[in-house]
Structure 1
């Protein structure tokens, strides 16, 4: 069965959190020190209800299971000067490399472009920089952002629309 993209609903919050909990520790492990992940992940693996309710957050389902998620929003993280940005992307480790993330990202780019935004920004995890680069994002700078008590290394990226 082909994966299908749809707008997330509040009822998806628990399965989205489960996706983050399955994805982030596994896929980020090669790029981050264990102490950084143990400090940051407890804050990162929970679905953001405000983002879900925005109508700008999407899930990818296959056979009734959420295997991908991601969205965008107009409130950039501190320090970023792009007015809209990518938020909370994840693909289940069993589904990486199958176009799941691309479904979400393409929808975000199309929607932001339709609203007249000239660019999208993101704070890419170190392991996801290549994914964003393949989809038109360019590296701006390496940064550390605070997540809970952790200083979490990311790559600030930007994509002209």
Structure 2
């Protein structure tokens, strides 16, 4: 993938990832979610989680423009549920809306697949936005059904649970 570098995220990436999330999510998610959902969810999902960013299995994709993609995986479930043996979880993936279909997301996910398999994951679960379902399907994930993620008391976000064997 010419022109891109994928590396493990560090604490210094938190601010650039915040910028990427807050710039891209409103544009990317608008076609698939009503304004009533976005007005409450975007302020919560457009912020980087410092513990996730610095966990060692979260990555950034950089090019000459800076951070143009981010995402990772963990054995810990994003919803706080108990981890399941051999199953990893895709975590907070985003591609700059100006860099879609240029290989950023696909290269990032390939790195995640390799690292997760190397660490012993046999399956990956993903809580996908409605918007990203076709992307994840193109990578071999299959939809398992719609779920509602509790972001805060009284604030939920409709998502699609997906899974993929490694």
Report TM bin, short chain. over 0.9
Structure 1 residue 121 corresponds to structure 2 residue 125: yes
8 Å contact 2:75–2:83 — kept in the other structure?
no
Structure 2 residue corresponding to 1:103, chosen from 90, 104, 107:
107
Which range is displaced more, 62-71 or 17-26?
62-71
- Taking structure 2 as the reference length, the TM-score comes to 0.92
- Taking structure 1 as the reference length, the TM-score comes to 0.94
**Structure 1 80/33 Cα, relative in aligned 2: closer, same or farther at 3 Å?**
farther
8 Å contact 2:130–2:159 — kept in the other structure?
yes
Look up the match of 2:75: 74
How far residue 95 of structure 1 moved from its aligned partner, in angstroms, is 0.2
Look up the match of 1:150: 155
8 Å contact 1:59–1:69 — kept in the other structure?
yes
- Partner SS, residue 38 of structure 1: helix
Structure 1 residue 94 corresponds to structure 2 residue 95: no
What is the alpha-carbon root mean square deviation over aligned residues?
1.5
How many residues are aligned here? 161
Deviation >6 Å, runs of 4+ = none
How far residue 103 of structure 1 moved from its aligned partner, in angstroms, is 1.4
Q: Residue deviations 1:8-41, cap 9 Å, x none?
A: 1100100000000011100000000011011011
Structure 1 residue runs without a partner (length 5+): none
